[in-house]
Amino acid sequence: MMINVLVAGALGKMGREVCKSVISAGDLRLVGAVDVRGEEQDIGALLGGEEIGVPVKNDLEEELSQKRPDVMVDFTVPEAAAANAKTALRWKVRPVVGTTGMSAGEIKEITEIARESKIGGIIAPNFAIGAVLMINFAVQAAKYFPCVEIIELHHDQKLDAPSGTALKTAQAITAAREDFQQGMRSEIEKLPGARGGCFNGGIRLHSIRLPGLVAHQEVIFGGVGQTLTIRHDSISRESFMPGILLAIRKVMKLDKIVLGLESLLFE
């Protein structure tokens, strides 16, 4: 069955890659492209290829009502993503959201709307399969190395810090090591923030933002006489596409919101 897809944030760096991947997939059809830029220009031409008869629009609700896609993929900004997901659900369209920075309250509200309407969706901080495996490996390590710090590195245009992946990693580690408090009770920061943000149980999260980076993370564990480092690097945005295409296909069988790509990989 052909799955019809609309991409919100279609002209962003991630949105462009998603559009290209959907166009190239034999079982997916790009029926809508929404962005605040490129109004009425054909998305195929804007991506450097042939026109495909899909002009970029800036009114998401109008496009959802007219195109009636099966799935909406959202890579926009935190201020817009939650409203976009709720709008999609209102039109019985399954949201696949990769935008990070939404609040816990917004995610809860989206989850409740989906539950009541029995429409599936996925919200994931990272669609790189390697990043999901990194978190899974870190959970295993945390059972034996409870002391850990996380360093995440992203391009300098990323809006939120720490990254959704870093927060997801810290949450998973906290659950795995249960009641544990690491670090000194009092530290002297000569420069405020030098030790990074402090998550539950004393896990320190450090964010680096530089041009030339895409998405990278190190999870560094410390034990007696040894350290263990688990690292994942996305060196191009193409690394996220297999996970996104997997989510588009899998979400068709869901009747609720799932959080994280691992919900689909390890089901």
Give the active site residues.
154, 158
Q: How far is it, in rounded angstroms, from Cα 30 to Cα 225? A: 54
Q: How far is it, in rounded angstroms, from Cα 8 to Cα 97? A: 10
Q: How far is it, in rounded angstroms, from Cα 148 to Cα 182? A: 8
